[in-house]
Amino acid sequence: MANYFIFPKTLIILLCLNSVVHPIEALSQPWSLLDAPKEILQNLIRDPLSLSLASTDFGHIIHQNPVAIFAPSSTKDISKLIKFSNSLPIPFTIAARGQGHSVNGQSMTNDGVVVNMTELNKGFGNNGSSGIVVFDNFVDVGGEQIWIDVLHATLEKGLTPLTWTDYLYLSVGGTLSNAGISGQTSRFGPQISNVLELDVVTGKGNLVTCSTKKNSELFNGVLGGLGQFGIITRARIALGPAPKRVKWLRLFYNDFSTFSGDQEHLISVNGINETNAPNYVEGMLLLNQPPLDLSFYPQIDQPRITSLVTQFGIIYIIELVKYYDDNSKDHIDQEIENLVQGLKFIPTFIFEKDTSYEEFLNRVHFDELALRTQGLWDIPHPWLNIFVPGSRISDFDEGVFKGIILKQNITAGLVIVYPLNRTKWDDNMSAVTPNEEIFYIVSLLRTTGFDKLEAFQAQNQQILQFCKDVGIGIKQYLPLNKSHEEWVEHFGLKWETFEKTKAQFDPNKILSPGQTIFN
């Protein structure tokens, strides 16, 4: 059990709610939870299982001990909790937790209260939670909702959000606090560029509706704002017509600059209504390291793929998708032919699948189910996600993919690399990117046992140090812990606004302490 002597005095009283604590401890405080609104008292949870779940995340690297979990049954409850904290001489910290799919403690607090956002969903209909309500051009979604449910609800009306993350069991509030990127981002922007309006409970406890026209400083601050200014309780997200099916292609390259040149060519046609543009462009590496995951490819092709990887050490793969439906099914093959015409992939190393739109979007969930059965899901994930300026991506390939990852004797795991168009991002928002027209997301998505965790963490540091040494101006996505100076550097020109917005909306610095920006 947690040692309550290290908790702030204000919260010691919380411990006596449904846990064992010396009552005198509670009575000796000048302020008491007995003065707190009833909704706070009745919604606090301290059972060991809930506390233990909230003290870890998908990363399984950081562990923090919250004092209690708050299960809000309405957005008003969240507001009351935040106001109560602010009313105390020493406010306690509050961490919203969507799905806890962060990898570095971002949704945790060591000495405060975790708000379990999933609880909001349970009372939908009479509690101020938005649930999921689909309109003609947009959907109103509670911040606690997960994207797979948004997909299902919108598909029922023949509609869909335009842009996604690779994995859909993430909360809307969680991805909008970062950016929300995937293969659709180069054409349709990150998820934060597709938000029309938000309801936010600020760090002062006020419920504010905001958009680019109304309370825009809060709107822009919250999108990509790492949970620092308020808790998103509703997001209005743009919709378009949903396709039925997709052509899903993978093209192989043995030369990095040919690969990235073709990727950049593919994302150069990116108008939202452009019929000749791909709907999704990503990329990944196949490294000559076990285990080689060839599950996408026909069995008959797997031996020749294996020998290609053995021959070159690294194979670069473009992943390309074109949507279609009943109206376009007669010319989809021609459209695919037009798209790949002129691309310089290795002849005959082009593979295609035809699948439903839903199955494609939900693809990572199938991997999740397989990994879960092998016990490979709830183990450490020392991930590193970085944005690399387009002008330096070849240096990154030489120095990191070939110079570090391929040479070291630890399995890289899934390595994703694809370019994004900066014009699709709104620079007024908090999300940070390199200052170049084209930049790449590089995601090193490792899964490991505790025995190799340190080796991966050391490799991550080596990669960051390499970029620093050779002057590649990367920006971290889903940033890991940083010192104050590193955060200031991370936000660059945006830091002044970020700090000011914090002072305006969360002056006591109580929200999302797990990001370690202001504490």
- What is the H or E stretch that residue 140 is in? strand 138-142
Angstrom distance (rounded) from CA 423 to CA 359? 29
Angle at 131 between CA 169 and CA 134, to 5 degrees: 95
> Which residue of 4, 7, 58, 498 would you call a contact of ligand FAD, by CB under 6 A?
58
List b or e across 231-257, with b for residues whose CB sees 16 or more CB atoms inside 10 angstroms.
Answer: bbbbbbbbbbebbbbbbbbbbbbbebe
Among residue numbers 170 through 199, which ones bind ligand FAD (CB under 6 A)?
A: 170-171, 173-175, 177-182
Minimum CB distance to ligand FAD, residue 514 (Å) = 6
Given 282, 358, 397, 506, the catalytic residue = 282
Q: Which of residues 398-437 bind ligand FAD (CB under 6 A)?
A: none
Outline where 17-171 has alpha helix (H): 23-27, 38-43, 48-54, 75-87, 118-122, 147-155
Secondary-structure percent of the chain, ordered helix, strand, coil, rounded to 5: 40, 20, 40
Q: Does 109 bind ligand FAD (CB under 6 A)?
A: no
Among 154, 260, 512, 516, binds ligand FAD (CB under 6 A): 512
Task: State which of positions 472-491 bind ligand FAD (CB under 6 A).
Answer: 478
Residue of 25, 166, 335, 359 with catalytic role: 166
- Closer Cβ to ligand FAD, 78 or 472, answer by number: 78
Stretch that binds ligand FAD, among 11-19, 268-276, 487-495, 508-516 (CB under 6 A): 508-516
Task: Name, in order, each residue with C-beta under 8 angstroms of 354's C-beta and a sequence gap of 6 or more.
Answer: 245, 246, 247, 248
115, 117, 167, 108 alpha-carbon torsion, rounded to 10°: 0
Instruction: Answer yes or no whether residue 226 interacts with ligand FAD by CB under 6 A.
Output: yes
Which stretch of DSSP H or E encloses residue 371?
helix 363-373
Instruction: Give the nearer residue to ligand FAD in terms of CB position, either 12 or 146.
Output: 146
Strands (E), 257-413: 280-287, 314-324, 350-356, 384-389
Residue number closest to ligand FAD, CB atom: 173
Please answer whether residues 314 and 288 qualify as being in contact, where contact means their C-beta atoms are separated by less than 8 angstroms.
yes
Q: What residue type is 402 in one-letter code?
A: K
Amino acid, single-letter form, for residue 259 = F
- Measured from the CB atom, the residue of 65 and 515 that comes closer to ligand FAD is 515
Per-residue interface string for the shown chain with ligand FAD, residues 81-100, x marking contact by CB under 6 A: --------------xxxxxx
- Examine the residue annotation and report whether 395 is marked as an active-site residue of this protein: no
CA 20 distance to own-chain centroid: 37
Alpha carbon distances (Å) from 496 to 177, 486, 502, 503: 19, 14, 10, 11
Among 107, 110, 202, 260, binds ligand FAD (CB under 6 A): 107
Site map 316..345 versus ligand FAD, x via CB under 6 A: ------------------------------
202 touches ligand FAD (CB under 6 A): no
Of 77, 101, 111, 358, the active-site residue reads 101
Distance from C-alpha of 175 to C-alpha of 186, rounded to nearest angstrom: 17
Active site residue 60: no
Q: Whose Cβ is closer to ligand FAD: residue 221's or residue 305's?
A: 221
Residue of 33, 54, 150, 231 that binds ligand FAD (CB under 6 A): 231
506 catalytic residue (yes or no) = no
Residues at the site binding ligand FAD, with contacts judged by CB under 6 A: 57-58, 95-102, 106-107, 117, 143, 165-167, 170-171, 173-175, 177-182, 226-227, 231-232, 478, 512, 514-515
User: What are the catalytic residues?
Assistant: 101, 166, 282
